[in-house]
Structure 1
């Protein structure tokens, strides 16, 4: 028996020893002994490779055998080393500076770089489309650091909580991932995540997917949503001569190929263009490598500078593809200086992958559950770039904290700290209480959303707590009870809303609501009780008009096919008009401070207290079908996440009032919406539009709440949701006949303001837009506006017309819900 066990042990040891690949590692330095970070290291005539880390250290696991390792870094001479690898081997390498040979140019002639760039432009489209299909492995890594910050905010407790050193610097976020990237043209991409690991809070600028970091300077324009609202011009774009100056800085020979170094200089600092160097291979005029930068004057957001480096390797005869792409960034916010990088390492290119016929569909990324369950042993064996010591410590601390967080003692302590009540955050955003396992959330809204004042109820409170439960599979339960009490009327309205998301992959849910409430006469209204309270108290203008409804509602939504979302909703309600409180009591309608009597709750006849409609009952159905063409999505374990679409969407709506079971209405309404948000317009920013047309096929019997309503913007604070008017009186223009409305807005992303001295330092974005509404009852309405925006702050100024008469002009502070 003992002999048998020994044999088994020897066999297992032999198998493990055979399976374990030897490792070549070392440090890469320059002549002066300075470590060279992010140097490409790859096996000659293959696409197997890695990068050195921030300390210049590298390692590469290979099967035993003879290899030629190639070391390549922009600005350094490429170096090769022969190695017979049978066991773990240390191989330190010194790179010499590249020696550039300058050509003699005619004194009166243009710089030689221009002729080279023209040749690269002529080959740009060829190289863009040269490779039809490929698959490869991609290793992604990202790190964000706090460099420094105001001392008054970095006390000992903060330093400890963020794992910062005594100088207030350290790692804030760290991530790495292994993916399989499959490519069959720009419209057929599929990323399959194999493993992912992250520690810390996600930064605002994030490139942690292979499809995010994939960058081709063979495209005319390059765009990153997180970075800017406009695109950037490639130095070899077909129109690049209008944006760049070029200078020849020399050439060098590498593996028998002549490589030219060309400096690219933005003609105007405010242009959406790069500064730096590109390297072109002579004769072929393909990109050999590049090192380019964007600065804040190019109107980039969240960061002050972004550096992009990209290196290429031969994958096959005459085919070169990226071996690495790297984004380095640096910024400053409120005195805090931060920096970071994201990099992608490409390996094991296959130009004849033989994709299964059903591989490419609208799912562009697949994230299986097991991708997040890889342990330290996996990462030690599958991480091509060695961690630096600070990175190791950061992961260790976060992993230790993660294990500690599983204990009941820690969960109880964390729950107590996280749920600690703070008055100012509650005043601004409400108060959240989470269960210690994070699966339940309780919310109490801000006091600004609780207390209200209007002409119908006068002072009142609107208590709307919220309970939400999260399941690991993405299913959620959401319950929102509401208690609304008018002190003047001594009247309580109560209702409860509940929804259950039962199939995240199909965006499928059930929802319902029952009770009573005072509702806005405009069912598309966008004025909150808080904004109305401020308006009524300080300007004596009551923006909201109410009616009372007792109702029971129920509905469901879900995708029947990818990109086809159906929604159905039934309601039975008892509705009645309301007058201002003083009319309902024995008191006389008050005189306002401006000497004018208070307007009534009837928006169509503000000088009269005649009810807008009689009390009636309504049984109605509302349904819609939304079509998103070529809808792409990422499939996660907790649900389906829709990617931004470059195509317009269409929504078909239908609403029916049934004259049965005591219902007093009888109508049929249908409409079609055609809309798109953020249509890219290259260097000129992006556009958004919304067009809608509809009619009442049958209008035998309906009342004002059943009319087609429109999203207006009477208050100074305006919601800029797609399909909203800036200045429209949203009650007066409601209709029970046909209508046609349109909205268009364009954000230039700083195209004009960036050209103005001093102003361009503010990095503002200019906006123009307009809307129109035509319907059979009133004159045509139209409005025009322009505005400026910086991050989340935006102010517009515009004009509104009823027919040919100007009815309003003024400012709006614009926000988006």
Structure 2
């Protein structure tokens, strides 16, 4: 009986706690009655607060008691109301415009704002390190709207499908999230998602985590990955005077302190800098609030302009923390104008809490299962910023549609529509069939990846369907059979690959492959069958060199500790060289007639004019393993697995490969290499760098053949894969080695830092890239190349030079794809 009573009490406790609270609601307007959206409301001497919504309506829940409510909006005079809260209360507030006084006499050529900014810069480090850590609750809300669009696209069916108004405007995306955010200096963070809700299509700009909107202008640079490749200079950075001009607009008094309003003006429009206003509290020289803007010339992505507002408030004593931050953006794509905002409300601050020693354990975010299952009752009781009527209707319609979509009739109908075969999408991206709940998919590739031609096989087909099965716990099964038929050789190859991810929390899986196939002689990969087909048809140059392998292999991978990923593969293979069709003898030979009068080069890349096989038929039993070390690896834990965050440090991978002279195997070698690499290493306003360095050696090379050599990722055709660790101009096959080697690659993306300084050109928002690579090995001791390129979103063109020692051996363009 006692246990049952205790259980009932536990169930009722949240209800009773909520019942003990009262609501303060109302509308905030200016002196003319115009509603003031996104005004801040907080209870003085507490860390409880909220924001008004787009219609100026606010709601704040408080326990009964005596409070002084503070109402604040940038540009309006702060107002306060004292009340003894006993029950739900309505308080409508009118905020008067702030009156700025400018009493400083300009006795010198320098604006008085500069002296204020210098004092704020001098106090920057103090406020940046004022607290060792904190914990708070963060509410995030995002809304994106389609403002207008070309009438030729806004047909009745489109308007109905997107629930648009007749003029083509409406909400198309809405999201909310509630998190507990924890921070410890210098850079330890941990966020626990309490609730999450999303409706509509994906937004063009996304800040769906407290981590995403964390913005500290006491840092020299602020950065948002979703917005730009470059960092932006804070108006009070240590070197801010080199980037900004300042003008004192005026001063006003708030809570007995003088607050200075200073206009921030970027010296150069093309720099990663803001324009707008910063408010500094006189005497203590700290940030009171900010109202800043970024424009296209600052090279922001996806949007044309972004406005950021941030307000601080005293938490305890002289410690101030952000009470709210808001991003408002606007953009235009193909004639469609869109706008949106993300806002964050910070409440319930605990300064310098006593975190457990193991609290920060590299897991920067935890997303429990129940976070996405909160119902409308939960949100109505816990949402600090009220929804507007339009937002409520949008949620209701999406929730109604969601319930409808759960019915068997709808799922069957949707399955039929979604799986309808369409020829053009199939040609471009392949064809995918999903079952009713999207837990299983079947895919067949595009015809450009099925039909091929090369000098070894002639015309052929390579059919590679794929089956994937997804479980709710993140486990996946992936099966990929391949059937490859060469019409010129009248030869069929077939194999099947399968993998099973059995422990998503450890990235653990097993995989295997068995069958026969024609493989690239370069085991690092060269060109696709499609690009090689184009090269054959238009230039009669067969880039791809092949050999046949009959094999069986099996492997496994998984983390043994966070940041240490092991991978191992055992293979037994029977390999043989291949010749071009034109060099076959006998009654079944197929003679290729050269279109341009030149016979194709042989399939032996080391002797293009010879029919001598590159290597004899041999068998190989081999093991290959690797250990990848990611230092200080941070990750997000979701119900479906562990997701690694981008690393701030270099990663190291140790590779070992062994050929065993047993069970009929003809190989006997040991290969060891070490790779050091890092992608997108931030360089502040100068963009980011990427690099890859590798060194290795065959410790034992008693018996091995060309497919066992160390291969390098070269680059020959005009179309080039820009993956980290690739050469632009190196021959794919000539410089593979069975001895020592050292290679390096470095690339830097300036993110528009240089081109933005050029009139007219900067309007294109291009990114400039420079890079280089080198290779040292036995037969090519001093190869190096340099290049520069222009990038726009996912496409770029490079031009570069390749040298062997001091001798230039090549120069030319490369079209780089990174889709």
What is the CA deviation profile of residues 628-676 of structure 1, one whole-angstrom value per residue up to 9, with x for unaligned ones?
A: 0000000000011111111000000000000000000000000000111
Measure how far apart 1:104 and its partner are.
3.3
Report the Cα distance in structure 2 between the residues aligned to 1:349 and 1:206, rounded to whole angstroms: 25
In the other structure, the counterpart of 1:359 is 359
In the other structure, the counterpart of 1:518 is 518
Equivalent residue in structure 2 for 1:810, among 788, 794, 812: 812
Report the Cα distance in structure 2 between the residues aligned to 1:60 and 1:526, rounded to whole angstroms: 61
In the other structure, the counterpart of 2:485 is 485
Matches within 5 A, 1:403-482: 403-482=403-482
Report the Cα distance in structure 2 between the residues aligned to 1:292 and 1:14, rounded to whole angstroms: 40
In the other structure, the counterpart of 1:166 is 166
In the other structure, the counterpart of 2:797 is 795
Measure how far apart 1:20 and its partner are.
4.8
In the other structure, the counterpart of 1:317 is 317
1:439, 1:469 within 8 Å by CA — same for their partners in 2?
yes
Give yes or no for the alignment of 1:541 onto 2:546: no
Report the Cα distance in structure 2 between the residues aligned to 1:668 and 1:215, rounded to whole angstroms: 51
Report the Cα distance in structure 2 between the residues aligned to 1:13 and 1:475, rounded to whole angstroms: 37
Report the Cα distance in structure 2 between the residues aligned to 1:811 and 1:12, rounded to whole angstroms: 71
Change (3 A) 1:545 1:17: closer
What is the CA deviation profile of residues 396-434 of structure 1, one whole-angstrom value per residue up to 9, with x for unaligned ones?
A: 111111111111000011111111111111111101111
Report the Cα distance in structure 2 between the residues aligned to 1:148 and 1:93, rounded to whole angstroms: 34
In the other structure, the counterpart of 2:155 is 155
Report the Cα distance in structure 1 between the residues aligned to 2:632 and 2:187, rounded to whole angstroms: 10
Report the Cα distance in structure 2 between the residues aligned to 1:709 and 1:465, rounded to whole angstroms: 29
SS of 2:386 mapped into structure 1? coil
Report the Cα distance in structure 1 between the residues aligned to 2:112 and 2:468, rounded to whole angstroms: 66
Bigger mean CA deviation after superposition, 11-20 or 577-586: 11-20
1:570, 1:621 within 8 Å by CA — same for their partners in 2?
yes
SS of 2:157 mapped into structure 1? helix
In the other structure, the counterpart of 2:4 is none
In the other structure, the counterpart of 2:304 is 304
In the other structure, the counterpart of 1:214 is 214
Report the Cα distance in structure 2 between the residues aligned to 1:162 and 1:480, rounded to whole angstroms: 36
Measure how far apart 1:14 and its partner are.
14
Matches within 5 A, 1:736-755: 736-755=738-757
Matches within 5 A, 1:578-593: 578-586=578-586, 590=592, 592-593=594-595
2:131, 2:352 within 8 Å by CA — same for their partners in 1?
no
2:106, 2:112 within 8 Å by CA — same for their partners in 1?
no
Give yes or no for the alignment of 1:672 onto 2:674: yes
In the other structure, the counterpart of 1:202 is 202
SS of 1:153 mapped into structure 2? coil
Equivalent residue in structure 1 for 2:613, among 611, 628, 640: 611
RMSD value over aligned CA atoms?
1.6
Report the Cα distance in structure 1 between the residues aligned to 2:612 and 2:22, rounded to whole angstroms: 89
Report the Cα distance in structure 2 between the residues aligned to 1:728 and 1:816, rounded to whole angstroms: 19
Report the Cα distance in structure 1 between the residues aligned to 2:450 and 2:595, rounded to whole angstroms: 26
In the other structure, the counterpart of 1:53 is 53
2:20, 2:64 within 8 Å by CA — same for their partners in 1?
no
Change (3 A) 1:442 1:351: same
In the other structure, the counterpart of 1:653 is 655
Report the Cα distance in structure 1 between the residues aligned to 2:13 and 2:598, rounded to whole angstroms: 95
In the other structure, the counterpart of 1:504 is 504
In the other structure, the counterpart of 1:188 is 188
Report the Cα distance in structure 2 between the residues aligned to 1:447 and 1:20, rounded to whole angstroms: 66
Measure how far apart 1:806 and its partner are.
1.9
Matches within 5 A, 1:272-311: 272-311=272-311
1:591, 1:598 within 8 Å by CA — same for their partners in 2?
no
Report the Cα distance in structure 1 between the residues aligned to 2:434 and 2:154, rounded to whole angstroms: 27
1:622, 1:653 within 8 Å by CA — same for their partners in 2?
yes
Give yes or no for the alignment of 1:334 onto 2:348: no
Bigger mean CA deviation after superposition, 253-262 or 225-234: 225-234
In the other structure, the counterpart of 2:684 is 682
Gapped runs of 5+ residues in structure 1?
1-7
Report the Cα distance in structure 1 between the residues aligned to 2:16 and 2:658, rounded to whole angstroms: 71
1:771, 1:784 within 8 Å by CA — same for their partners in 2?
yes
SS of 1:535 mapped into structure 2? helix
| TM-score (norm: length of structure 2) | 0.97
In the other structure, the counterpart of 1:4 is none
In the other structure, the counterpart of 2:633 is 631
SS of 1:409 mapped into structure 2? helix
2:714, 2:732 within 8 Å by CA — same for their partners in 1?
yes
Change (3 A) 1:23 1:485: same
Report the Cα distance in structure 2 between the residues aligned to 1:374 and 1:538, rounded to whole angstroms: 59
Give yes or no for the alignment of 1:243 onto 2:252: no
1:589, 1:597 within 8 Å by CA — same for their partners in 2?
no
| TM-score (norm: length of structure 1) | 0.97
Report the Cα distance in structure 1 between the residues aligned to 2:417 and 2:68, rounded to whole angstroms: 56
Give yes or no for the alignment of 1:699 onto 2:701: yes
Change (3 A) 1:451 1:17: closer
Change (3 A) 1:349 1:14: closer
Report the Cα distance in structure 1 between the residues aligned to 2:599 and 2:160, rounded to whole angstroms: 62
Give yes or no for the alignment of 1:343 onto 2:343: yes
Report the Cα distance in structure 1 between the residues aligned to 2:36 and 2:774, rounded to whole angstroms: 60
SS of 2:648 mapped into structure 1? coil
In the other structure, the counterpart of 2:126 is 126
Report the Cα distance in structure 1 between the residues aligned to 2:105 and 2:420, rounded to whole angstroms: 71
Measure how far apart 1:595 and its partner are.
2.7
Measure how far apart 1:549 and its partner are.
0.3
1:28, 1:36 within 8 Å by CA — same for their partners in 2?
yes
1:782, 1:800 within 8 Å by CA — same for their partners in 2?
yes
2:137, 2:181 within 8 Å by CA — same for their partners in 1?
yes
Report the Cα distance in structure 1 between the residues aligned to 2:805 and 2:525, rounded to whole angstroms: 23
Report the Cα distance in structure 2 between the residues aligned to 1:182 and 1:212, rounded to whole angstroms: 14
In the other structure, the counterpart of 1:253 is 253
In the other structure, the counterpart of 1:110 is 110
The ranges of structure 1 where at least 4 consecutive aligned residues each deviate by more than 6 angstroms after the TM superposition are 11-15
Measure how far apart 1:807 and its partner are.
1.8
Measure how far apart 1:803 and its partner are.
2.9
In the other structure, the counterpart of 2:3 is none
Measure how far apart 1:393 and its partner are.
0.6
SS of 1:151 mapped into structure 2? coil
Report the Cα distance in structure 2 between the residues aligned to 1:384 and 1:777, rounded to whole angstroms: 69
Count of matched residue pairs? 809
1:204, 1:226 within 8 Å by CA — same for their partners in 2?
no
